[in-house]
Structure 1
Amino acid sequence: MDLETRHLRQLLSNAQQLPEVLLLKQSTTSTNDDVREIAQNGIKTILVCSEMQTQGRGQHQRTWISPVGNIYLSTLLETRTALDGRLALEIGLNVLQSPSLKALKHLQIKWPNDLYSPQGKWGGILVEPISPHQAIVGIGLNLMPLPPDQIDQQTTSVMQLGVQYPNRIQIISEIYLAIQQAGQWFDHGCYNLAARFNHYAAFMDQNVHFEQVKGPISGVFRGISDDGSVNLETAQGLVNVYQGRLRLAD
């Protein structure tokens, strides 16, 4: 067992959250796919991390740029409550409270699953349900700046946001624990979700476009409701939207 794996096992053991399977890889196609394969053997607690992914993906199967040196991790999460879109919001909120990150200023969440800041996106969350009460949760986190020629949107990194020497193994352990904590918040009804999320919401009170299957809609982003839906103030009044992609108006 290498030193990094031993260190991570010790951190999670100290927190009484050591999974049955813990893998640290140098490279993989997708950590979510790794967890899916392991879960087929009936294993309930899994953590897979990789230094890079060759086929990383985000929401709606969009490609997730996964160069060497950042954090790409996936785990299996079981909930008593039937899964819905609030889980990703709870995961984002709990990640922001991680000890290595919570002192950073201006951290945000861009609905529904981007870890964000005024400088751009620094991470993302992918929740892939495999049953009504079980999901694979993947998180990608930019520890270091991404190569400019590999990205098509504004991004930043944990280093650029103020963590001068990010401890990768420490942050992996904190993110894993944050996911477990988010599951507990979810199972207890996501108490006061709207107020907690809107405190960190990107694009609050700004003009936005909302891309959805039945056509785009524009308005002013007024945060979310407790059920996780977006409140969009349009010329026709306040509209609640449950699925789609949010972006700033041009």
Structure 2
Amino acid sequence: MQTMSHSSLKKGLGQQWEGVDLTLLDTVDSTNDWLKSHSGDLPRLVVAKEQTGGRGSHGRVWCSPPGGLYWSLETTFLDRLSTALPLMVGVSIAQVLQALGFHGVGVKWPNDLLVNGAKLGGILVERVYDSRHAPSVIVGVGINTTTPKIAPLIQGRSVVGLDSLRASDANPLDGDELIGRMARAVLDATSVPADALEQNLQAQWSAFDVLNGQSVKIEQPNGDVVEGNAVGITAAGALRVSTAAGESVFYSGDCQLKSL
């Protein structure tokens, strides 16, 4: 699916974002870490065929074998980093995939892409404060492409690749152009004030929310575990959970569907 082509990435990014600085790598430890250690003009996009030290939320290892779609985008910092940002990134990516015929993609709060409970991809958002440029944010994305390549690497978790989400007779898709389209959608969605981003998320979230009405458990940073039913998000992107003691709101934490 991926050939590492500047022209395909540029095509996906479109005319508005044709000035995005591009870096293509065969192998890297982490695309997010690469951006942190290399200076450049913003916005900038780094794409890799393989990550040897990919990571997700809470420091978890993200399996990144050759052939997946691994990319990180660094762009200007919003006026404030909202909890809604990774959710809006997820919705933007899901919309692109849906438009291209990859059906059933949803977003699990706060940063996973799922299809029928199986993990398709993940999102890692990190703030950067660097004296060489204005404050910025790095959005890292990893998406599975071929299920058989990734499934054996993750034990105890259900995973899925893009290959199983389109009709077998569908036209082949250029992976680099797809990355460009996803990056363009993220840039479009995040190039607004935080208040506008939150309003846009409220209008679009319900169509992709895989947790709404589901029984969940949330492990908080202090180790406490709360169980209840997810009932959507707040205006700022925090998860709302109905518990026996009433409604609780979570701005961070590890959330899992109890059925998984």
Count of residues paired in the alignment: 246
Question: Which residue does the alignment assign to 1:151?
Answer: 154
Question: Residues 183-198 of structure 1 correspond to what in structure 2 (within 5 A)?
Answer: 183-185=190-192, 187=194, 188-198=196-206
Question: Which residue does the alignment assign to 1:166?
Answer: 173
Separation in 2, partners of 1:211, 1:13: 37
**Residues 10 and 177 of structure 2 are in contact (CA less than 8 Å); yes or no, is this contact kept in structure 1?**
no
Separation in 1, partners of 2:167, 2:108: 21
Give the Å deviation of 1:102.
5.2
Separation in 2, partners of 1:245, 1:113: 10
Separation in 2, partners of 1:10, 1:50: 16
Identity between Structure 1 and Structure 2 (%): 28
Question: Which residue does the alignment assign to 1:123?
Answer: 121
Question: Which residue does the alignment assign to 1:209?
Answer: 217
- Which of 1 and 2 has higher RCO (CA within 8 Å, sep 6+)? 2
Give the Å deviation of 1:8.
2.9
- The 3 A distance-change label for structure 1 pair 47 and 216 is same
Give the Å deviation of 1:80.
3.9
Q: Which of 229, 252, 256 is residue 243 of structure 1 equivalent to? A: 252
Residues 1:86 and 2:84 aligned together = yes
- The 3 A distance-change label for structure 1 pair 63 and 80 is closer
Separation in 1, partners of 2:167, 2:16: 27
Separation in 2, partners of 1:182, 1:198: 17
Superposition TM-score, scaled by structure 1 size: 0.89
Which stretch of structure 1 is more off in the superposition, 196-205 or 48-57?
Answer: 196-205
Structure 1 segments unaligned to the other structure (5+ residues): none
Please tell me the residue identity of whatever aligns with 2:139.
V
Superposition TM-score, scaled by structure 2 size: 0.86
Moved over 4 A (4+): 99-102
Question: Which residue does the alignment assign to 2:187?
Answer: 180
Structure 2 segments unaligned to the other structure (5+ residues): none
**Residues 81 and 133 of structure 1 are in contact (CA less than 8 Å); yes or no, is this contact kept in structure 2?**
no
Question: What RMSD in Å do the two structures reach over aligned CA positions?
Answer: 2.2
What's the secondary structure of 2:180's corresponding residue? helix
Which stretch of structure 1 is more off in the superposition, 115-124 or 60-69?
Answer: 115-124
**Residues 23 and 48 of structure 1 are in contact (CA less than 8 Å); yes or no, is this contact kept in structure 2?**
yes
Q: Which of 95, 98, 105 is residue 96 of structure 2 equivalent to? A: 98
